[in-house]
Amino acid sequence: ERIPALLQAMPKAELHLHIEGSLEPERIFALAQRNGVSLPYPSVEALRAACAFTDLQSFLDIYYAGASVLLTEQDFHDMAWDYLIKAQADHVVHVEVFFDPQTHTARGVPFEVVIRGLKSACDRAERELGVSAALIMCFLRHLSGDDASRTLDEALPFREMFIGVGLDSSERGHPPEKFARVFARCRELGLHLVAHAGEEGPPAYIESALDVLRVERIDHGVRCLEDPALVARLARDGVPLTVCPLSNVKLCVFPDLAHHNLKALLAAGLKVTLNSDDPAYFGGYINQNYLDTFAALKLDVVAAYTLARNSLEASFVSEARKAAWV
Ligand code: HPA
Ligand code: ZN
């Protein structure tokens, strides 16, 4: 079959990747040992067994436990480097990496340690792998808007080290409106804006992410199909959706890949991209998402080119660099 070979070899961008979600269980245990951190799981096997998620929150509980082993700049560098090597192997030419500083600063790890470790890995990837990598700082939506604002204050001395901000963690009960003020500040600073919306939360959260937060892309967004007027708006405005099919199945947003709504999203004319979200937890990196989704939904070569092109176009690289790509 030529489609799997095409999917693997196509140059693509990854726009929805939580770096803490790229920590493989073996690496989590190695770092726990190296840093003297104790984990609520006795072994790699026990951790893997706990990864039978029922919803977003059941995943987040384990994801935050896994991230608790990260303490030093080297830890953050190593984590990002491991991911960037895999991204290169999947023919990712550009990646916009999410990170969750509050998960680390709440444990006493300085913001500076987190961002320096991640940024040095991104710079190294550009030099040694030919992969461009930029950072997007995410606010945790289960925490307050004021907490997010304090995190932005801590980040200001490192403004040149990240290109944008996002919003992640528990969606239900935490509407975008909570973060209106901090996103307005970020907009003033010239940062790019994205937010998770419409993964587990209602289509109304997608609308308020656009209207109140003024985001440029929606992360996930799969529940938009419940609101035809919203779909029409997203299509008209070309708002990119960073869809993560393996994540959606693991978190029970869809029962299996054959029931994923990707085909309907494409048919509606939406600017869809495929991404891995938290590859160490959800069963595969970006090419696995492409391969498994194409097999389950019997997608064709046109869809392959459309998704890869969308990923490059929806990225935050300069228009000049985009022109050279597409
Ligand atoms: N949704 C919300 N928060 C997250 C996710 C996700 O898919 N992954 C890591 N944090
Ligand atoms: Zn995500």
Residue 20 annotated to the active site: no
Q: What are the CA-CA distances from residue 136 to residues 7, 147, 236 (Å)?
A: 26, 17, 26
pLDDT reported for residue 324: 87
Strands 12-18 and 217-220, bridge-based pairing: unpaired
Task: For residue range 92-104, list pLDDT tens digits in order.
Answer: 999 999 999 999 9
pLDDT reported for residue 325: 83
Task: For residue range 234-254, list pLDDT tens digits in order.
Answer: 999 999 999 999 999 999 999
Residue 118's nearest CA partner among 36, 198, 19, 209 is 19
Burial of 144 (0-12, 13-18, 19+ CB in 10 A): middle
**End-to-end Cα distance, the chain:** 25
pLDDT reported for residue 160: 98
Q: Which residue puts its alpha carbon closest to atom 2 of ligand 1? A: 169
Contacts of 32 (CB under 8 A, 6+ apart): 38, 39, 69
Q: Where are the domains of the chain?
A: 2-314
What confidence category does residue 1 fall into, taking pLDDT thresholds of 50, 70 and 90? Answer: confident
- Please tell me whether the overall predicted TM-score, pTM, comes out greater than 0.95 for this model: yes
C-alpha span between 49 and 150 (Å, rounded): 36
C-alpha span between 237 and 271 (Å, rounded): 9
8 Å CB contact between 67 and 100 = yes
More confident of the two residues 183 and 326: 183
Distance 2 CA to ligand 2 centre (A): 30
8 Å CB contact between 195 and 218 = yes
ipTM of the complex in this document = 0.95
Please tell me which residue in 14, 20, 73, 199 is annotated as part of the active site. Answer: 199
Does pLDDT of 326 surpass 80? no
- For residue 227, say whether it is annotated as part of any ligand binding site: no
8 Å CB contact between 257 and 299 = no
Classify domain 2-314 by CATH number: 3.20.20.140
Quick one: three-class SS letters along 144-207? Answer: CHHHHHHHHHHHHHHHHHCCEEEEECCCCCCCHHHHHHHHHHHHHCCCEEEEEECCCCCHHHHH
Distance 324 CA to ligand 1 centre (A): 32
Does pLDDT of 113 surpass 80? yes
Per-residue pLDDT, averaged over 297-324, amounts to 96
C-alpha span between 1 and 7 (Å, rounded): 11
Per-residue pLDDT, averaged over 254-280, amounts to 98
Ligand nearest to the CA of 142: 1
Task: For residue range 178-237, list pLDDT tens digits in order.
Answer: 999 999 999 999 999 999 999 999 999 999 999 999 999 999 999 999 999 999 999 999
Does pLDDT of 32 surpass 80? yes
